[in-house]
């Protein structure tokens, strides 16, 4: 099936250059890119998003900084107000 796309000139030049570096035609590059996008969305549909998505990926320093922010915020809670 054929279709027509309106691609901005600057993006087209990037696509053309990247395809050439890979030894691909622009058509093959587009097809690969679309297939990769569909695959990523299909595989990512069951993945956690938001702040929970960093579990197992965040650095120790990032986790420490986040924990400090959480500790600071929770220390502001008035326990008596929650009774």
The predicted structure's pLDDT at residue 58: 77
Question: Are both 15 and 39 inside the same structural domain?
Answer: yes
Q: Is residue 27 part of a domain?
A: yes
Q: Is residue 3 part of a domain?
A: no
pTM for the structure as a whole: 0.50
Q: Domain range for residue 59?
A: 50-78
Q: Is residue 64 part of a domain?
A: yes
Instruction: Please count the structural domains in the chain.
Output: 2
Q: Is residue 4 part of a domain?
A: no
Mean pLDDT of 18-46: 88
Question: Are both 14 and 38 inside the same structural domain?
Answer: yes
Confidence of residue 15 (pLDDT cuts 50, 70, 90): very high
The predicted structure's pLDDT at residue 57: 75
Confidence of residue 46 (pLDDT cuts 50, 70, 90): low
DSSP 51-81: GGGGTTTS-HHHHHHHHHHHHHHHHT--GGG
Confidence of residue 56 (pLDDT cuts 50, 70, 90): confident
């Amino acid at each position: 099936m054929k279709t027509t796309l309106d691609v901005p000139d600057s993006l087209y030049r990037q696509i053309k250059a990247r395809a050439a570096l890979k030894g691909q035609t622009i058509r093959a590059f587009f097809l690969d890119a679309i297939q990769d996008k569909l695959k990523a969305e299909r595989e990512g549909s069951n993945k956690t998003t938001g702040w929970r998505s960093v579990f197992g990926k965040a650095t120790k320093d990032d986790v420490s900084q986040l924990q400090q922010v959480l500790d600071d915020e929770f220390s502001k809670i008035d326990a008596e107000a929650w009774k």
